[in-house]
Structure 1
Amino acid sequence: MNISVVELIKLGREYMRLWPQRAELGNYFAEYQAVQICRLALRYLPGIALFSFIMQLYLGPITLLPQALIYSLFILSIPLQALLMLGVKADKFLPVALASWYKESVARVNEAGGSIKLSLHKPRFIDLAKLLNISHQSQNSHF
């Protein structure tokens, strides 16, 4: 469980990539909203940071350069913080009720002819994202 910050950010990025973009998951999992907010932050905040930097330099004197840099670096740090928090969440074990639902779902999919090779011993949130991703892909392939 001792993971470096860089590995946590990579894990958070993987967790975000695996989580399906299906709005109905928001009714069942709080992680859906966190993943959506992280995707939004990664998409728009770098542009906002650049805009903030340019506008502060354009509208103010050159003496505002340090202030403009600090604001921009802060805004740029928000997506990294979001990925870091997703990485921390992805590495946590599932609560007991959710873990039992996860194990039942893996067993149900494997009984129906699938061959999911996911962790059944102390599953983590990243394993849940993988299961949801696999089930989402299989639903899309039937249509």
Structure 2
Amino acid sequence: MNLSVVELIKLGQRYCKLWPEKAELARYFADYRAVQSARFVCRYFPALALFTVVMQLYFATGFFTGTGKINNALNALPQALVYGVFLLSIPVQALVILGVKADKFLPPSLASWYRNGLEKAKEQGSVNKLTELTVSKPKYIDLAQLLQLTFSSRN
């Protein structure tokens, strides 16, 4: 589908939130590692970007050596902002990549596994929660919803 960048970011956030945090999924799905990496990047990189900008400006002023001037910090500001913006763009890139992945159709082998899992979940009596899951052409977002539903019903 043709989605805008903002829609891809929102879909990536939804996919990241839906994917269960169960370590046993790492053996079966490569997406587990991608989602864990995206969660890490989204959690810590904004603070790292701010820290990087502040530290570059602090070291550029020279106040810690006793020869500091504000003009030094103003001269270093463009470079510090470039580094900060770069570090802030990494979580956005991760969410876009997750959004693109979430919008893709499952390969045939994984789609048949998905349908079998959907049938088992229906047998367990989770039918009212499964109305939003598709059967005909499932996508990775549907797989994440099924896994979330399966792991939430176990607890």
Q: TM-score, normalised by structure 1?
A: 0.96
The ranges of structure 1 where at least 4 consecutive aligned residues each deviate by more than 4 angstroms after the TM superposition are: none
| Structure 2 residue aligned with 1:20 | 20
User: Which protein has the larger Cα radius of gyration, Structure 1 or Structure 2?
Assistant: 2
Q: Residue by residue, what CA displacement relative to the aligned partner does 1:26-51 show, whole Å, maximum 9, x if unpaired?
A: 01000000000000001110111001
Q: 1:113: how far off?
A: 2.2
Q: Residue by residue, what CA displacement relative to the aligned partner does 1:66-85 show, whole Å, maximum 9, x if unpaired?
A: 00000000000000000000
Q: 1:25: how far off?
A: 0.4
Does residue 87 of structure 2 align to residue 72 of structure 1? Answer: no
Structure 2 gap ranges (5+)? 61-71
Question: 1:86 & 1:75 partners in 2: Cα distance?
Answer: 18
Question: 1:80 & 1:86 partners in 2: Cα distance?
Answer: 10
Q: 1:114: how far off?
A: 2.2
| Structure 1 residue aligned with 2:53 | 53
Give the aligned length: 140
Q: TM-score, normalised by structure 2?
A: 0.89
| Structure 2 residue aligned with 1:100 | 112
- Counterpart AA for 1:89: K
Q: Residue by residue, what CA displacement relative to the aligned partner does 1:49-108 show, whole Å, maximum 9, x if unpaired?
A: 001000100001221110000000000000000000000000000000000000011011
Report the identity percentage. 56
Q: Secondary structure at the match of 2:47?
A: helix
Q: 1:111: how far off?
A: 2.0
Aligned-CA RMSD value: 0.7
Question: 2:144 & 2:121 partners in 1: Cα distance?
Answer: 15
- Counterpart AA for 1:23: A
